[in-house]
């Protein structure tokens, strides 16, 4: 039996539950349209800093924060467009704004949430848009179907992505077996491209690597401590995968981005949506538990 229920907690919370598959997903639209929990066969797949989550003035660290209309940061948080300079904070504004529920179904089990431009977004990103995400739960998979509509009279430049915090005990991160189909990674501060050998040094205080020139359509992480294989699949526009981990924290992040940092200034892999047109794409997460 599949169901969508609403719980009135600190924030209105939507629970998508599939009893047959023993899976459920929790979505909090007003807190950035975020998925805060994904559980399969009793196993929690996401990390969530619950204390930060209760403070609306703090960004959420956990679940799947949404990145739009940029991924990563801009130098001095600024970009130029049409002779004007604008300011955008790291990862954009979508993860900090309330989204609205616009649809729900039990077949397929799904919830659609939407973000519409307003005066505040136009002040930092001078476009009219409607962004709609549909979270679809199918067995042990969670798919995010995305629609970006340009309601402006000029082309809309954008990048989009996700920042999933996958749960892992800090003491066993070194056991993770990561397979990412990329040959290079980009240094955060300099933009220099270096060869990627396929391995990460979990002895570092922090790993923050943007994997570029992604060649395949999926990446996998095996966590032997939980007999868990997580697969991230992504549509063709997602050309960058970021791997982030911090020593002492029980998470790692494997983030699909459509463009690298600073793409609004460089134009690199930037998606441009024509006036009156809609850009659609998707990302899918799958959990296999042995």
The yes-or-no verdict on residue 257 having pLDDT over 90 is: yes
Tell me the three state secondary structure of residue 113: strand
- Residue 87 — pLDDT band, cuts 50, 70, 90? very high
193's CB contacts (< 8 A; 6+ apart) are: 184, 185, 186, 187, 212
The Cα–Cα gap between 190 and 179 comes to 25
Tens digits of residue pLDDT in 110-152: 999 999 999 999 999 999 999 999 999 999 999 999 999 999 9
186 is written with which tokens?
């980009």
φ, ψ at 41 (rounded to 5°): 50, 40
Query: Each residue of 167-222: pLDDT tens digit?
Result: 999 999 999 999 999 999 998 888 889 999 999 999 999 999 999 989 889 999 99
Tell me the β-bridge partners of 138. Answer: 141
Residue 266, classed as helix, strand or coil, is: helix
Domains recognised in the chain with CATH numbers: 2-289 (2.70.98.10)
Instruction: Classify residue 60 by burial, with Cβ atoms within 10 Å: 0-12, 13-18, 19+.
Output: buried
| Per-residue model confidence (pLDDT) at position 190 | 84
Residue 79 φ/ψ, nearest 5 degrees: -150, 160
Does the model's pTM come out above 0.85?
yes
**Per-residue pLDDT tens digits for 9-38:** 999 999 999 999 999 999 999 999 999 999
Given a contact cutoff of 8 angstroms between Cβ atoms, the answer to whether 131 and 121 are in contact is no
Q: How wide is the angle at C-alpha 288 spanned by C-alphas 106 and 254, nearest 5°?
A: 90
Structure tokens at 178: 């990561």
DSSP H or E run through 71: none
CA-CA distance, 111 to 90, in Å (whole number)? 27
pLDDT (mean) for 63-92: 96
- Closest of 66, 38, 99 to residue 285, by C-alpha: 38
């Amino acid at each position: 039996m599949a169901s969508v229920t609403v719980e009135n907690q600190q924030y209105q919370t939507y629970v998508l539950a599939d009893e047959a598959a023993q899976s459920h997903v929790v979505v909090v639209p007003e807190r950035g349209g975020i998925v805060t929990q994904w559980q399969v066969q009793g196993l929690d797949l996401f990390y969530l800093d619950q204390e930060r989550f209760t403070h609306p003035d703090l960004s959420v660290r956990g679940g799947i924060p949404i990145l739009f209309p940029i991924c990563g940061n801009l130098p001095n948080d600024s970009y130029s467009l049409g002779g004007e300079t604008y300011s955008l904070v790291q990862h954009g504004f979508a993860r900090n704004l309330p989204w609205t529920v616009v649809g729900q179904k039990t077949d397929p089990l799904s919830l659609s949430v939407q973000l519409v431009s307003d005066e505040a977004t136009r002040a930092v990103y001078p476009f009219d848009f409607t962004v709609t995400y549909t979270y679809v739960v199918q067995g042990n998979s969670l798919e995010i179907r995305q629609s970006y509509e340009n309601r402006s009279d000029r082309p809309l430049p954008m990048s989009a992505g996700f920042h999933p915090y996958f749960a892992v005990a800090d003491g066993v991160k070194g056991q993770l077996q990561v397979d990412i189909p990329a040959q290079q990674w980009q240094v955060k501060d300099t933009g220099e491209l270096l060869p990627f050998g396929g391995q990460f040094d979990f002895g570092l205080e922090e790993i923050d690597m943007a994997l570029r020139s992604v060649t395949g359509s999926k990446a996998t992480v095996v966590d032997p401590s939980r007999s868990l294989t997580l697969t991230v699949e992504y549509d063709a526009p997602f050309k960058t995968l970021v791997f982030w981990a911090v020593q002492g924290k029980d998470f790692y992040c494997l983030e699909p981005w459509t463009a690298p940092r600073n793409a609004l200034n460089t134009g690199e892999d930037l998606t441009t949506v024509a006036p009156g047109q809609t850009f659609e794409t998707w990302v899918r997460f799958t959990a296999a538990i042995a």
